[in-house]
Amino acid sequence: MALPKRQTDIGPPKYDQFIPPVIKKNYGKWKYHEVLSGGTMVHVAESGDKLYTVRVASPRILSTETIREICDMSEKYCDGYLRFTTRNNVEFLVSDQSKVDPLVAELKAKKYSVGGIGPRVSNVVHTQGWVHCHSACTDASGLVKAIMDDLYEYFTTKELPNKVRLAVACCVNMCGAVHCSDIAVVAVHRKVPTINHELVPKVCEIPTTVASCPTSAIRPNPKDKSVTINEDKCMYCGNCFTVCPPIDIHKPEEDGVAIVVGGKIGSLRTNPKFSKLAIPFFYNEPPRWPKVVAAIKNILEVYAKNARKHERVGEWIERIGWEDFFNLTGIEFTFQHIDDFTFARDTFRTSAAFKYSR
């Protein structure tokens, strides 16, 4: 069958074709919203019109079969209008209030997870992992599934002092907002990569490979038409592997994940913050990474117990001090916690006023 005629540089279709009439009518004229339950909210316009949103979790990897099922439900309850959130939740945009409860009932009957709105854990921003990425040193989807099975009630019903944003990155490239999340997992390598000197000259451009190293640990090795790596300088980022695959960064028995905490994006109350290291390493334990899951739950519950209302994880930690964060969570402080990279000197304590370890 002949293919239709291709077009180039047309860009995406304009958004206004996909928004329901209630949005078209009240575009930019919303007055307020109310959270009705863990997974439903209503937006009220200046005109008095109302738009109900029902939010469900998604594993981000969706089959066309599931997308069609979601589409069918949106046709049944909200004239086919739906959207996705920046955290990969699905949102049904319902104009008719009488259809909200039946939609929620059908979603629950079909085992969809309704939740993620308000001071709760929303969906986990995450990366491809072993499912589809060349540089992954863990599986992001599997970690997310294991973590969220355990924290499930914090998505659907239970409230926290404020929202808690989780993320999982399957390597330090961090194709997600791991570096500014309340609690996040980042997979790390811990060993200097192994160089295949036979393949490097055939596959790699030496100057690009040398230039790829952020710590200048890579030098040309003219004898082998390859490169050498200064082991003292390498911090295992894997950037060289991306430009030169024969430099193999994978060491399955020594790769694993770290947990970072206290980041945020919004400017509410305090400035946006980077996440900082809480636990430097866990071995990969597929399929359910039980130690990682337990560690995250511990941090979340210590936060829930100790933080003031509206405090994000990072704000709570800054109020009590990092030394007390380690006290309360029982997490061991190690050499890895002391920064020795780009911004190190700004993190050393310059005052004798601090709290003791208990």
Partner 1 sequence: MSGKYKTPMLDELEKGPWPSFVTEIKKAAKKSSMADDELGQLEKSYKTKRGYWKHGGIVGVLGYGGGVIGRYSSLPEEFPGIAQFHTVRINQTSGFFYTAKALKMICDIWDKYGSGLTNMHGSTGDLVLLGTTTENLEAIFAEYSSRGWDLGGSGSAMRTPSCCVGPGRCEWSCIDTLDITYALTQEFQDELHRPAFPYKFKIKTAGCAVDCVAAIARADLSIIGTWKGNIQIDQAEVKKYADSGMNINAEIIDMCPTECMSYDGKTLKINDVQCNRCMHCIAKMTKALRPGKEKGATLLVGSKAPIVVGSLLSWVIVPFIKVEAPYTELKTLIRSMIEWWDDTAKPRERIGEVLEIKGLRPFLEHIGVPPQPQQVKEPRKDPFFFWSESDFKK
Question: Interaction with partner 1 in 280-339: which residues (CB under 8 A)?
Answer: 284, 286-288, 309-310
> Under 8 Å CB-to-CB from 269, ≥6 apart: which residues?
310, 315
Say whether residue 109 binds partner 1 (CB under 8 A). no
**Cβ of residue 194: shortest distance to partner 1, in angstroms?**
13
Say whether residue 3 binds partner 1 (CB under 8 A). yes
> Phi and psi dihedrals of 141, rounded to 5?
-60, -40
**Cβ of residue 190: shortest distance to partner 1, in angstroms?**
13
User: By CB under 8 A, what part of segment 337-356 binds partner 1?
Assistant: 341-343
- What strands, in cross-sheet order, belong to the sheet with 183-188? 125-126, 166-169, 183-188, 256-261, 276-283
Q: Of the two residues 252 and 330, which places its CB atom closer to partner 1 in the complex? A: 252
Say whether residue 108 binds partner 1 (CB under 8 A). no
Say whether residue 75 binds partner 1 (CB under 8 A). yes
**Cβ of residue 233: shortest distance to partner 1, in angstroms?**
13
Q: Of the two residues 5 and 223, which places its CB atom closer to partner 1 in the complex? A: 5
Tokens linked to 253: 């028995």
Q: Of the two residues 19 and 323, which places its CB atom closer to partner 1 in the complex? A: 19
Say whether residue 277 binds partner 1 (CB under 8 A). no
- Which residues lie across from 258 on neighbouring strands? 186
What is the rounded CA–CA span in Å between residue 245 and residue 225? 15
Cα separations (Å) of 275 from 112, 153, 259, 338?
31, 24, 9, 14
x/- track of binding to partner 1 for residues 178-207 (CB under 8 A): xxx---------------------------
What is the rounded CA–CA span in Å between residue 73 and residue 82? 10
What is the rounded CA–CA span in Å between residue 195 and residue 183? 34
Q: Which stretch binds partner 1 (CB under 8 A): 134-142, 218-226, 298-306, 349-357?
A: 134-142
Q: Binding residue for partner 1 (CB under 8 A) from 104, 227, 237, 302?
A: 237
Residues 307-330: b if buried by 16+ CB within 10 A, e if exposed? beeebbbbbbbeebebebbbbbbe
User: By CB under 8 A, what part of segment 16-45 binds partner 1?
Assistant: 17-19, 23, 27-28, 30-33, 43
Say whether residue 166 binds partner 1 (CB under 8 A). no
**Cβ of residue 258: shortest distance to partner 1, in angstroms?**
12
Q: Of the two residues 83 and 197, which places its CB atom closer to partner 1 in the complex? A: 83
Q: Of the two residues 111 and 349, which places its CB atom closer to partner 1 in the complex? A: 111
**Cβ of residue 240: shortest distance to partner 1, in angstroms?**
10
Instruction: Dihedral sign for Cα 322, 327, 329, 330, please.
Output: positive
Classified as helix, coil or strand, 193 is coil
Q: Binding residue for partner 1 (CB under 8 A) from 54, 114, 117, 125?
A: 125
Q: Which stretch binds partner 1 (CB under 8 A): 64-72, 98-106, 221-229, 348-356?
A: 64-72
**Cβ of residue 148: shortest distance to partner 1, in angstroms?**
4
Cα separations (Å) of 328 from 185, 258, 299, 318?
20, 19, 9, 13
What is the rounded CA–CA span in Å between residue 25 and residue 190? 55
